[in-house]
Chain A
Amino acid sequence: MTAEAAPVSGEGPVGSGALEEAGALGKGPGAAGGSGAGGESGATPSLARRTLAVFTRNRLALLGAGVLAALLAFCFLGPFFYHTDQVHTDLDQASLAPGSHGHPLGTTDVGYDMLGRLMHGGQTSLEVGLAAGLLATLFGTVYGAVAGYFGGWVDAVLMRITDAALAIPALFLLVVVAAIVTPSKPVLILIIASVAWLSPARLIRGEALSLRSRDYVHAMRLMGGGGGRAVFRHILPNAVGTVIVNATFQIADAILYVAYLSFLGLSIPPPAADWGSMLSSGITYTQVGYWWLIFPPGLAIVLVVAAFNFIGDGLRDAFDVRLQKN
């Protein structure tokens, strides 16, 4: 850990930012047998096939992919088979315990069916998380590649800006921004992406710094190629493994950000819902012990975030990426 790496610190919501580092330090259990296997297989298979082979050997990563697929199906296909009214409240049916007639997971404090709400809220959480995570990765990647490739004062200026923004914990920044604008789905995506792009930017900058001195980049420059060509045709394609691995972690973080913002009362107003806002509306009822308002959305968040992290961990081994934060 050099002095340069120092300002990279605050990304990720509470606790989760550490994961990338921890994952790089100690691999998940399933990864132990998987990594390195691709390189020994004699002839060089294509990158995609080798990647897939290593990934599928990592049991935790496969588990993550399975859980994610199941959750996606539950949230987006579930409502076609399980019809509920998630717009109109029904106070006659409020706060029913799980197992009540027609409500396997019970109902909320204003009478929404909990199982249906879990699907409905999951759509928001997943959509916003995926979109924000991908947007952040896209912007951060280009930003970092430009800074790293051009170096010099461009790099210095661009990186001091990210240092400063990283110095303010993301959650604080998110809350201030969310207080200024009224969140809707697209706004929420933009807000989260506007904070989350910082860590991919730093990561890809480090990658670009090392890639730009490769012979093929020099050769291309000597043949008269410009900076734009270097960034988009050489630097970015070679950093693709790092970008994809980072994107999975970004999505996990973004889903947590959505939840934290909702929890702090700064999300899309009802009747819309997401897993975080479902949790925060359950808080009022901890005193009377309505546990079914809290466990389903909470566990859903844990499952989806863990799934993305396991997938990212598997992909890291598959792409053979060391996520050095430098």
Chain B
Amino acid sequence: MIRFLVKRTGQALVVLLLVSAIVFLLLHQLPGGPARAILGPTATPEAIAHFNHLQGYDRPLPVQYGMFLKRLVAGDLGESYKLNQPVFTLLAERLPKTLLLTALSVALAALLAIPLGIVQAVRRGRASDYVLTGAAFLAYATPVFFLGLVLILVFSQQWPLFPAEAPQADSVGGILKEPGGLVLPVVTMALGIIAMFSRYMRSAVLDNLGEDYVRTARSKGQSQARVMARHVLRNALIPLASLLGLYLPTLFSGALVVESMFNYPGMGLLFWNAAQSNDFPVLLGVTLVVGVATVLGSLLTDIAYAVLDPRIRSVS
């Protein structure tokens, strides 16, 4: 177990280092470098050279990467060109809101997808299974923003039930005080996750129904409900929870689109606005945070798996 932990954590550290290297290299692909982006198109070559010298941008790349890492470890992600605030502060302010949106969507999705998947598995091959399967495939093929637009057209324009703009409060608590504004963003984000979860549940339940321990439980005379709850669901739900760790990147991408669509003041909107205004420190800061979260997510997933299932430890 210890060996597995050390090995897997070491791998994650290497990947983290590479993520930072990718972000660093992207920073260096800026047309004219960061100086041009900060000082503007009218800056003289002398001013740019001076700026580059002050910032250390005239040093060799490996030295610069070292400096970049040093600042990174100290929590210094640079300063936004447009908002004149440290990127770290901006992220600390926005990240909780994105996590709130994501958590609500995932919760709603799980609530609906788990029963849907069970229904499909139990009624496999019947009409309801086909209909739900078809719906899941269509949901996969639907871009999140198209879905969001349709929801806005129907539930905000046709029948004005919910606002088309998310709450604009500064804090997570403030956002929760306007639950109406959360409905459309959360539902938009949840639908894609439902498609994914329900497909997973369907096959996990199907796999488990064919297992020996289910047959044993049945032959002992246990009721269908008890077999489902004690044997099938328990074994199907644990991997579902860990699936979350693996789908973090997908969730972040979803949040990016949903936030920019409903003007939800989270990290995704921050990123989108930064993309519109070429605010590179923000773009790269967000990219880095998302990358780190993803690596940690998959690390934790693996560790959770290893704790729950001894077979994995021995394989790796």
Contact = CB atoms under 8 A, between A and B. Distances in A.
Interface of A: 1-4, 6-10, 12-19, 21-22, 25-26, 28-29, 32, 160-161, 163-173, 175-180, 252, 256, 259-260, 263-266, 276, 279-280, 282-283, 286-287, 289, 291, 294-295, 298, 301-303, 305-306, 309-310
A289 B157 contact: yes
Interface string B133-147: 110111111111110
Contact of A171 (B202, B204, B253): B253
B176 interface: no
Given A3-B306, A172-B286, A294 B153 contact: yes
Given A177-B26, A294-B146, A305-B141, 6 more contacts: A6-B301, A29-B133, A167-B298, A172-B271, A279-B143, A286-B164
B77 interface: no
Given A252-B141, A260-B143, A301-B143, A168 B22 contact: yes
Contact of B18 (A161, A172, A175, A177): A161
B31 to A, nearest CB: 7
A22 B136 contact: yes
Contacts of A16: 140-141
Contacts of B204: 25
A305 B252 CA distance: 21
A26 B253 contact: no
B272 interface: yes
The dominant DSSP class at the A interface is helix
A4 B287 contact: no
Interface string B9-29: 001001110110111001001
A306 B143 contact: no
A161 B199 CA distance: 30
22 contacts: A1-B239, A3-B305, A3-B315, A7-B298, A9-B298, A15-B193, A15-B195, A22-B195, A22-B200, A26-B133, A160-B15, A172-B287, A175-B271, A175-B275, A176-B284, A179-B278, A283-B261, A287-B164, A295-B150, A298-B149, A298-B150, A309-B141
Given A170-B253, A286-B157, A164 B316 contact: no
Size class of the contact patch on chain B = 35 or more
A84 B253 CA distance: 36
Nearest to B249: A10
Interface in B41-69: none
Contacts of B280: 179
A273 B187 CA distance: 29
Given A179-B275, A298-B149, A310 B140 contact: no
Given A29-B134, A164-B15, A294-B149, A169 B276 contact: no
B18 A164 contact: yes
Contact of A25 (B129, B203, B278): B203
Interface stretch (B84-92, B208-216, B224-232, B289-297): B289-297
A18 B291 contact: no
A264 B260 contact: yes
Contact of A180 (B26, B152, B157): B26
Of A12, A16, A19, A252, the most chain B CB neighbours within 10 A belong to: A16
Nearest to A290: B153
A159 to B, nearest CB: 10
Contact of A2 (B120, B141, B144, B312): B312
Contact of A3 (B125, B144, B312): B312
